[in-house]
Amino acid sequence: MSRRGGGRQPETRRDQPSPASSQSAYGRGRGGGRSRGGPGRGGPTNVPVSTHATAPAPASYGSPAPAPASSSSSASSVPPAAVSTPPVTTDAPSLGSASTSKDVPEIEKLSLQPSAPSSTKAVRFCDRPGFGRIGRKLHVRANHFLVDVANGDFHHYDVSITPEITSKKINRMVMSQLTQLYLESHLGKRIPAYDGRKSLYTAGPLPFSSKEFVVKLVDDEEHGKSSGSARKKREREFKVTIRFASKPDLHSLHQFIKRLHLESPQETIQALDVVLRASPSEKYTVVGRSFFSPTLGPTGELGDGIEYWRGYHQSLRPTQMGLSLNIDVSARSFYENIFVTDFVAKHFRFNFSRPLSDQDRVKVKRALKGIKVELTHGQYTKSYKVTGVTKEPLSQLTFPVDDTTQMYVVQYFREKYNVVLECLALPALQAGNDTKQIYLPMELCKISAGQRYSKRLNERQVSNLLRATCQRPNERERDIRGMVRQNNFNGDKHAHEFRIQVREELSLCEARVLPPPMLKYYGTGKESSIEPSTGQWNMINKRMINGGTVEYWTCLNFSTRLDRNLPSQFCNGVVEMCINKGMDFNPKPFLPIRSATPNQLEKALVDVHKQSQGKLQLLIIILPDVKGRIKRICETELGIVTQCSQPKEASKLSKQYLENLALKINVKVGGRNTVLQDAINRRIPLVTDHPTIIFGADVTHPQPGEDSSPSIAAVVASMDWPEITKYRGVVSAQAHRQEIIQDLYKSTQDPQKGIVHGGIIRELLVAFYKSTKCKPARIIFYRDGVSEGQFSQVLLYEMEAIRKACASLQEGYLPRVTFVVVQKRHHTRFFPVDNRQTDRSGNILPGTVVDTQICHPREFDFYLNSHAGIKGTSRPTHYHVLFDENKFSADQLQTLTNNLCYTYARCTRSVSIVPPAYYAHLAAFRARYYIEGEASDVDTGSGSGIRGRNIEITLPSVKENVKDVMFYC
Between CA 385 and CA 374 the distance in angstroms is 9
757 vs 116, more confident: 757
48 domain residue, yes or no = no
Quick one: average pLDDT of 960-967? Answer: 95
**What is the b/e burial string over 311-329, where b = at least 16 CB atoms within 10 angstroms of the residue's CB?**
bbbbbbbbbbbbbbbbbbb
What are residue 330's phi and psi, to 5 degrees?
Answer: -155, 175
Q: Domain with 576 in it: what CATH number? A: 3.40.50.2300
CA nearest neighbour of 515 among 899, 232, 825: 899
Look at residue 59 in the predicted model and tell me its pLDDT.
35
Quick one: average pLDDT of 670-678? Answer: 97
594: containing domain: 547-669
> How far does Cα 37 stand from its chain's mean position?
35
* Local confidence band at 121 (pLDDT 50, 70, 90 cut-offs): very low
Rounded percentage of the chain residues whose pLDDT exceeds 70: 83
DSSP annotation string for 584-653 = EE-SS-SS--EE--GGGHHHHHHHHHHHHTT---EEEEEPPSS--SHHHIIIIII---EEEE-HHHHTTT
Whether the CA torsion 944, 945, 948, 952 is positive or negative: it is: positive
* Local confidence band at 233 (pLDDT 50, 70, 90 cut-offs): low
Look at residue 322 in the predicted model and tell me its pLDDT.
96
Between CA 402 and CA 406 the distance in angstroms is 7
Between CA 937 and CA 411 the distance in angstroms is 34
Please state, as a whole number, how many other Cβ atoms lie within 10 Å of the Cβ of residue 588: 8
Look at residue 456 in the predicted model and tell me its pLDDT.
87
**What is the b/e burial string over 442-481, where b = at least 16 CB atoms within 10 angstroms of the residue's CB?**
bbbbbbbebbbbeeebeeebeebbeebbebebeebbebbb
pLDDT tens readout for residues 444-456: 999 999 999 988 8
DSSP annotation string for 493-524 = HHHHHTTEEE--SPEEEEEEEPPPPPEE-SSS
Quick one: average pLDDT of 920-925? Answer: 96
Out of 641, 669, 697, a domain closes at 669
Q: Which residues pair with 158 in a beta bridge?
A: 199, 243
665 domain residue, yes or no = yes
pLDDT tens readout for residues 857-881: 999 999 999 999 998 999 999 999 9
Helix axes 250-257, 266-283, angle to 10 degrees: 110
> Is the N-terminal amide bond of 915 cis, ω within 30° of 0?
no
- Burial environment of residue 565 by CB neighbours within 10 A (0 to 12, 13 to 18, 19 or more): exposed
Q: Where are the beta strands (DSSP E) in 378-426?
A: 380-385, 388-393, 398-400, 406-408
* Local confidence band at 324 (pLDDT 50, 70, 90 cut-offs): very high
717 domain residue, yes or no = no
Among 101-115, 352-366, 646-660, where is mean pLDDT lowest? Answer: 101-115
Look at residue 315 in the predicted model and tell me its pLDDT.
96
Whether the CA torsion 224, 227, 228, 234 is positive or negative: it is: positive
Cβ(852)–Cβ(812) below 8 Å: no
pLDDT tens readout for residues 243-295: 999 999 999 999 999 998 888 899 999 999 999 999 999 999 999 999 999 99
Look at residue 932 in the predicted model and tell me its pLDDT.
74
Quick one: average pLDDT of 819-835? Answer: 96
Q: What is the mean pLDDT of the chain?
A: 85
Quick one: average pLDDT of 621-640? Answer: 87
Q: Which residues pair with 136 in a beta bridge?
A: 513
Among 376-390, 417-431, 756-770, where is mean pLDDT lowest? Answer: 376-390
Out of 419, 448, 477, a domain closes at 448
Look at residue 220 in the predicted model and tell me its pLDDT.
54
572 domain residue, yes or no = yes
175 domain residue, yes or no = no
Helix axes 566-580, 655-668, angle to 10 degrees: 70
Quick one: average pLDDT of 321-332? Answer: 96
Flag whether pLDDT at 27 surpasses 50.
no
Q: What is the CA angle 359-363-366, rounded to 5? A: 135
Amino acid identity of residue 252, one-letter, is S
Flag whether pLDDT at 491 surpasses 50.
yes
Q: Are strands 285-287 and 398-400 parallel, antiparallel or unpaired?
A: unpaired
Please state, as a whole number, how many other Cβ atoms lie within 10 Å of the Cβ of residue 198: 13
Quick one: average pLDDT of 501-515? Answer: 97
Look at residue 951 in the predicted model and tell me its pLDDT.
54
* Local confidence band at 123 (pLDDT 50, 70, 90 cut-offs): low
398 domain residue, yes or no = yes
Between CA 178 and CA 169 the distance in angstroms is 14
- Burial environment of residue 944 by CB neighbours within 10 A (0 to 12, 13 to 18, 19 or more): exposed
Whether the CA torsion 84, 90, 96, 97 is positive or negative: it is: negative
Quick one: average pLDDT of 910-916? Answer: 98
Flag whether pLDDT at 22 surpasses 50.
no
Query: In this structure, what is the dihedral angle of CA atoms 757, 763, 764, 767, given to the nearest 10 degrees?
Result: 120
Look at residue 562 in the predicted model and tell me its pLDDT.
83
Between CA 909 and CA 532 the distance in angstroms is 8
Cβ(497)–Cβ(191) below 8 Å: yes
* Local confidence band at 628 (pLDDT 50, 70, 90 cut-offs): low
Between CA 145 and CA 150 the distance in angstroms is 16
CA nearest neighbour of 904 among 739, 660, 652: 660
Q: Domain with 432 in it: what CATH number? A: 2.170.260.10
Look at residue 435 in the predicted model and tell me its pLDDT.
76
Look at residue 313 in the predicted model and tell me its pLDDT.
97
Quick one: average pLDDT of 669-684? Answer: 96
Amino acid identity of residue 334, one-letter, is F
Out of 391, 425, 448, a domain closes at 448
* Local confidence band at 705 (pLDDT 50, 70, 90 cut-offs): low
Quick one: average pLDDT of 832-846? Answer: 94
pLDDT tens readout for residues 450-474: 999 988 899 999 999 998 889 999 9
Look at residue 117 in the predicted model and tell me its pLDDT.
40
* Local confidence band at 528 (pLDDT 50, 70, 90 cut-offs): very high
Q: Which residues pair with 428 in a beta bridge?
A: none
pLDDT tens readout for residues 183-199: 999 999 999 999 999 99
Cβ(109)–Cβ(137) below 8 Å: no
Q: Which residues pair with 832 in a beta bridge?
A: 140
Between CA 898 and CA 515 the distance in angstroms is 9
Q: Are strands 322-335 and 437-440 parallel, antiparallel or unpaired?
A: unpaired
395 domain residue, yes or no = yes
Cβ(32)–Cβ(263) below 8 Å: yes
Between CA 727 and CA 693 the distance in angstroms is 10
Look at residue 691 in the predicted model and tell me its pLDDT.
97
474 domain residue, yes or no = no
Indicate the number of domains in the chain.
2
What are residue 233's phi and psi, to 5 degrees?
Answer: -75, 140
Quick one: average pLDDT of 388-417? Answer: 90
Rounded percentage of the chain residues whose pLDDT exceeds 90: 72
Look at residue 351 in the predicted model and tell me its pLDDT.
76
Flag whether pLDDT at 939 surpasses 90.
no
Q: Max alpha carbon distance in the chain (Å)?
A: 95
* Local confidence band at 26 (pLDDT 50, 70, 90 cut-offs): very low
Q: Measure Cα distances from 356 to 70, 361, 395, 757 in Å.
A: 65, 6, 13, 54
Cβ(587)–Cβ(650) below 8 Å: no
* Local confidence band at 560 (pLDDT 50, 70, 90 cut-offs): confident
Query: pTM of this prediction?
Result: 0.85
421 vs 76, more confident: 421
